Amino acid sequence: MEIFHCLLHINLLLISSLFVVAAASDPYSEALLSLKSELIDDFNSLDDWLVPSVHGKNPSGGEVYACSWSGVTCNKNNTVVVGLNLSMKDLAGVLSGKQLGVFNELVDLNLSHNSFSGHLPVEIFNLTNLRSLDISRNNFSGHFPDGLLSGLKNLVVLDAFSNSFSGPLPVEASQLGNLKVFNLAGSYFSGPIPSQYGSFQSLEFIHLAGNFLDGEIPPELGKLKTVTHMEIGYNSYQGSIPWQLGNMSEVRYLDIAGANLSGSIPKQLSNLTKLESLFLFRNQFTGTVPGELSTIRGLKSLDLSDNQLSGPIPESFSELKNLRLLSLMYNEMSGTVPESLAQLPSLEILFIWNNYFNGSLPQNLGKNSKIRWVDVSTNNFIGRIPPDICSGGVLFKLILFSNNFTGSLSPSISNCSSLVRLRLEDNSFSGEIPLQFRQLPEITYIDLSSNKFTGGIPTDMSQAPNLQYFNVSNNPELGGTIPAQTWSMPLLQNFSASSSNITGNLPPFKSCKSISVIELHKNDLSGSVPESISNCKALERIDLASNKLVGSIPEKLASLPALSVLDLSLNNLSGPLPAKFGNDSRLVLLNVSFNDISGSIPSGKALKLMGTSAYVGNPRLCGAPLKPCPDSVAMFGSKGTGKLILVLLLCGGVLIFIAAALLGIFFFRRASKGQWKMVSFPGLPQFTANDIMKSFNSIDSMEAVPSQSASVCKTVLPTGITVSVKKIEWGAKRMGIMSEFITRMGNARHKNLVRLLGFCYNKHLAYLLYDYLPNGNLSEKNRMKRDWQAKYKTVIGIARGLCFLHHDCYPAIPHGDLKSSNIVFDENMEPHLAEFGFKYLIQLANGSVPAAIARKQSGEFNNAIREELCMDIYDFGEIVLEVLTNGRLTNAGSSIQNKPRDVVLREMYMDNEVGGDPANSLQEEIKLVLDVALLCTKTNPSDRPSMEDALKLLSGLKPLRK
């Protein structure tokens, strides 16, 4: 009892002393300490916000304790707080605003780059001396306080960029006579831009982009005579650009991109004589490019891409001597490129891909300027590459694919040491490949495929230390051999030289740490597959089909940890199939057909799934799915075997007769729908249309008949393979473009994607055949108790599959419908993405994506699907939240952004039964995964990481920006 009284006495003394300290401190320090108590400060950024003990030295002359604290600025006498800067301190929480009443003299308030949430405290608008208010990059929500802004008469800067405000834009902001910077971009503001915004008196910077604004752009904005910077794009306006915007005489930067605008580009914009940057891309503008824009002599950047503009490039653009960027890509422009364009002394970037330009490129292009990036792909250009295109010494990307260029490559390219990316595929270039690789130290990507090159692959290819991708496929007269040091290149990942008449042996794989794809089919290669291929631990795909290879298949080839595709068909290989292939669950495609392979096919589900077409043409090969091996058929002795064969023949004859009758009835009934055709993807079982139709008419093999568009069923094909079937209806006019897209889907091969095996179609509908994975989907698994490692494996697998679709498929394929029920599991509980690309396929069928647009592909990226890719990333973030919370949080991407991070983490530690010890490594992993989910579900698509960066973050790596 005495000990208890002693402890109580000590506690009372401590409480008393704390009260004395608080009482002794000044009102500013008291208010800031009160504010600190409201904040979540996980990183102790405000550790120095402390009042000295009562025994310490008190401030004299009314000085404020807080003047020495981080982020606090006082007047010269340290008696009044005039500035509070909490920017980038990793703070969070909801601000009450009750402490702000004492800061009557506050001039600057900066809360930016934190995670504050909730409504913006109205008390801020009582700080009438404020000149700068910066609350950007937080999660403040609700309507922007209405009717209070007008009290901040001295305000010069109002920056609320990247929050979650909603409702209409504050009209009374236009009454702030001193306001120069007005930034409300990146929230959820809706409704039209108030016409009153044309009455700002001193405004220089206005940024309203990235909201949900609609209506027409008010012509009153043309009265803004002091504005130098205007960004109002990335909204959904109606109508066209008001011609009155041409009256903003001081504007230097004008961005109205991605704004759903239509009509023609007003000629009056040429009155903006001080304009340096004009961005009107991703709208629906029609008509020609106004030649009058050439009167804006100071123009440096002009981007009119991704519209419906037509006609030629104006000749008068030769007057734009300061122009650095000209982007007209993804339009419907035509004609020749003016030779005078090559005279522009400042031109650095020329983007005109995906148009209908013809003729030759200006022959002096690059001679008079330091041009850095040229992309003229997917046009109708002819002639040669301009000889001086690299004479400026800074050209790093030259993209010319899908044109009709001819002749040999310019010597200027051969010595272009600055080149990083060179894409010349799908042209008619000829002659030897003159690239001097030792003079290309920065080159990472070279694609010379589908041309007419001769003379073989340059022998010094291995002297390009940064080369990652090399493709010379479909050059039928190229010839030559594979350079000896090819596989030893330190960064080479993809080597493709199919259909190029390559001869000789495969070089030894002495050191091949990075190579992941080797494509050499349809050549004249001889010799054996080197045993040293076992050194290629990163190898995922190797295609050596249609050559003259001999010898046996190396046993160690089956042990490569990443190998998923192996095609050795149409060679002269002999010996057995390596037994380890039977245990390889990673293998999604194996084809050894038409060789001299002997023995039995190793047991294993993966090899059976390949179907007979993967093994046919090997007379001495047996075992499922081929004929049984001799040792397994001695059922009745020699006499019994003869009887058995006779019975089987009779039964077979009866079955054939019945099948023929059924097929006759079936095709008679379906004759109105046209002839059925079948497409099986290379290396997979060669199903026929008859196989599919038989299975659909077998009661025993069908679990559900697809009766409506996009329905699903499971069926067993005559080969014994169980497949999932999706049905989609199409019109004859859409059949071509849809078949092209289905083929792209079928060629997408990754261990975290459900394989599309093929499709059966006629003029009215198609059946898509997928691998059947019977181990359930993520929606079901989320309701079951799973350990953290299983969850982490699931998240990583989903990320890898999505990253492959976004970054390894060209053009990128958006999933379009990423949700937990579309993630299925194989026997090893590896997740596979199902139904990828199907949403886009339905849009093609419905005609909501015009065929002409669907066929257009960008030079470096397909703009038509960029928004879908961003949505995929958001959906991925939501799925991660579902996994983290055992399905408790669904569709929670936006709401969770407003919750304090520490609260969310505590809940997720409980969901995953992780203890409270901060040193627990699982806590760190959960934090990492949560952070990725929060990034992926950011409100603004531009704030979200790419899937490539998300995967690197999940793997504990820092993202590498390109």
What are 354-363's pLDDT values in tens digits?
999 999 999 9
Instruction: Mention every residue, 6+ apart, whose C-beta is less than 8 A from residue 12.
Output: none
Please answer whether residues 169 and 145 qualify as being in contact, where contact means their C-beta atoms are separated by less than 8 angstroms. Answer: no
Q: How far apart are CA 930 and CA 883, in angstroms?
A: 10
Higher-confidence position of 499 and 625: 499
Tell me what the mean pLDDT of segment 812-819 comes to. Answer: 89
SS3 labels along 675-720: CCEEEECCCCCCCCHHHHHHHHCCCCCECCCCCCCCCEEEEECCCC
Tell me what the mean pLDDT of segment 305-330 comes to. Answer: 95
Q: How far apart are the first and last CA of the chain?
A: 70
Please answer whether residues 639 and 615 qualify as being in contact, where contact means their C-beta atoms are separated by less than 8 angstroms. Answer: no
What pLDDT, in 10s, does the model give residues 525-579?
999 999 999 999 999 899 999 999 999 999 989 889 888 889 999 999 999 999 8
Q: Is pLDDT at 5 greater than 60 in this prediction? A: no
Active-site residue, selected from the candidate residues 771, 817, 826, 949: 817
Please answer whether residues 125 and 148 qualify as being in contact, where contact means their C-beta atoms are separated by less than 8 angstroms. Answer: yes
- 318: how many CB neighbours lie within 10 A of its CB? 17
Q: Which two tokens stand for residue 330?
A: 């993804």
Phi, psi of 155 (to 5 degrees): -65, 130
What pLDDT, in 10s, does the model give residues 203-223?
999 999 989 999 999 999 999
52 closest CA partner among 41, 68, 38:
68
Which of 100-104, 331-335, 460-464, 882-886 is predicted with the least confidence, judged by mean pLDDT?
Answer: 882-886
Please answer whether residues 746 and 756 qualify as being in contact, where contact means their C-beta atoms are separated by less than 8 angstroms. Answer: yes
Confidence grade of residue 888 (pLDDT, cut at 50, 70, 90): confident
SS3 labels along 369-431: CCCCEEECCCCEEEECCCCCCCCCCCCCEEECCCCEEEECCCHHHHCCCCCCEEECCCCEEEE
Name the residue ranges covered by the structural domains of the chain: 1-171, 634-669, 674-771, 778-954
Confidence grade of residue 682 (pLDDT, cut at 50, 70, 90): low
Torsion angle of the four alpha carbons 231, 233, 239, 242, in this order, in degrees rounded to the nearest 10: 10
pTM exceeding 0.85: no
Calculate the average pLDDT of the chain. Answer: 83
Q: Is 108 a catalytic residue?
A: no
CATH topology of domain 674-771: Phosphorylase Kinase; domain 1 (3.30.200)
Please answer whether residues 806 and 872 qualify as being in contact, where contact means their C-beta atoms are separated by less than 8 angstroms. Answer: yes
Q: CA 257, 287, 375 angle in degrees (round to 5)? A: 60
Please answer whether residues 121 and 100 qualify as being in contact, where contact means their C-beta atoms are separated by less than 8 angstroms. Answer: yes
Q: Which value, in Å, is the radius of gyration of the alpha carbons in the chain?
A: 34
Higher-confidence position of 209 and 961: 209
- Write the burial class of residue 99 (CB in 10 Å: 0-12 exposed, 13-18 middle, 19+ buried): buried
Beta strands in 852-940 (DSSP E): none
283 closest CA partner among 302, 266, 264:
264
User: Among the CATH numbers 3.90.870.10, 1.10.510.10, 1.10.10.10, 1.10.645.10, which is that of 778-954?
Assistant: 1.10.510.10
Confidence grade of residue 849 (pLDDT, cut at 50, 70, 90): low
350, HSE (Cβ side, Cα atoms, 13 Å): 25
Q: How far apart are CA 153 and CA 173, in angstroms?
A: 10
Instruction: Mention every residue, 6+ apart, whose C-beta is less than 8 A from residue 105.
Output: 75, 80, 81, 82, 129
Torsion angle of the four alpha carbons 155, 157, 158, 160, in this order, in degrees rounded to the nearest 10: -160
Please answer whether residues 351 and 323 qualify as being in contact, where contact means their C-beta atoms are separated by less than 8 angstroms. Answer: no
What pLDDT, in 10s, does the model give residues 424-456?
999 999 999 999 999 999 999 999 999 999 999
CATH topology of domain 1-171: 3.80.10
Q: How far apart are CA 876 and CA 886, in angstroms?
A: 15
Please answer whether residues 489 and 458 qualify as being in contact, where contact means their C-beta atoms are separated by less than 8 angstroms. Answer: no
Q: How far apart are CA 552 and CA 592, in angstroms?
A: 11
205 closest CA partner among 242, 231, 187, 223:
231
Please answer whether residues 911 and 892 qualify as being in contact, where contact means their C-beta atoms are separated by less than 8 angstroms. Answer: no
Q: Which amino acid is at 564?
A: S
Q: Is pLDDT at 304 greater than 90 in this prediction? A: yes
Q: How far apart are CA 386 and CA 362, in angstroms?
A: 7
Range list of H helices, 72-134 = none
Predicted local distance difference test score (pLDDT) of residue 785: 67
Phi, psi of 412 (to 5 degrees): -60, -35
Q: How far apart are CA 15 and CA 17, in angstroms?
A: 5
Please answer whether residues 107 and 132 qualify as being in contact, where contact means their C-beta atoms are separated by less than 8 angstroms. Answer: yes
Predicted local distance difference test score (pLDDT) of residue 892: 66
Q: How far apart are CA 127 and CA 15, in angstroms?
A: 34
Which residues face 351 on adjacent strands?
A: 327, 375
Which residues face 132 on adjacent strands?
A: 108, 157
Q: How far apart are CA 716 and CA 203, in angstroms?
A: 70
